[in-house]
Amino acid sequence: LVKQELECLQIVDVRTSSIIHVPNTEDVTPSAFIFLFENQLFLTFKDRTVSVCNFRGEVVTRFNDHRLFYPDSGTNNVFVTSAQDYIIAYCKATDDVDAHANRGTGAIAANGFSASAISGGGAPLLPAGTINVSNIMTGKCVARIGRGIGGIRDVTALYFNEERNELYVGTKAGILLKFAQ
């Protein structure tokens, strides 16, 4: 994917050198994007929002409860499943209850995931955001991890191991959290 300001998005096939020009994308310059090759779509990230667009530059999915925590963030805090059906990302808490709930450290997170710190140290961190799991095709949030547990603050990296069903979250403080069912 090649996108320059005031130019249309171009999708370059490095194997064949063919180029697809995506019309109506001159005014859209996302901070990051991920090509969803299985679905011939792409995720765009701009101003804390995530959208799914087609090759005509049309938005086909908007996420109803998926506001990224950092404005203009890259993709370190985002994971797309190998089937390209779900996006997992560090998001802003949906309300003040989420942002200030339960200041404990080891607790049960949403949807049956349990959390444990597996490295790092320091004082317990207050939850400032949540890890949201949303369906890419519908935009619906299907799970939210982080309500009422410590450590969901200053997330710098996120990875989901699909074989083990484990989510790894790294923080600015050097703490690595593992969420597992």
Structure tokens of 169? 């979250």
Q: How far apart are CA 127 and CA 105, in angstroms?
A: 9
Q: What is the per-residue pLDDT for 148?
A: 61
Q: How far apart are CA 171 and CA 47, in angstroms?
A: 21
Nearest to 132 by CA among 144, 147, 140: 144
Q: What is the pLDDT of residues 32-78, one digit of tens each?
A: 888 898 888 988 888 888 889 887 778 899 987 788 888 876 788 89
Task: Give one word for 148, left, alpha or beta, with left for phi > 0 and alpha for psi -120 to 50.
Answer: left
Strand order across the 32-36 sheet? 32-36, 41-46, 49-53, 59-62
Question: Does 110 have pLDDT greater than 50?
Answer: no
Give the pLDDT mean for 85-93: 92
CA 170 vs CA 19, 42, 81, 135: distances in Å:
37, 26, 18, 23
Question: Does 107 have pLDDT greater than 80?
Answer: no
What's this model's pTM, rounded to 2 decimal places?
A: 0.74
Confidence of residue 127 (pLDDT cuts 50, 70, 90): very low
Q: What is the pLDDT of residues 130-169, one digit of tens each?
A: 999 999 999 999 998 876 665 478 888 999 999 999 999 9
Contact 47, 57 (CB under 8 A): no
Higher pLDDT, 80 or 99: 80
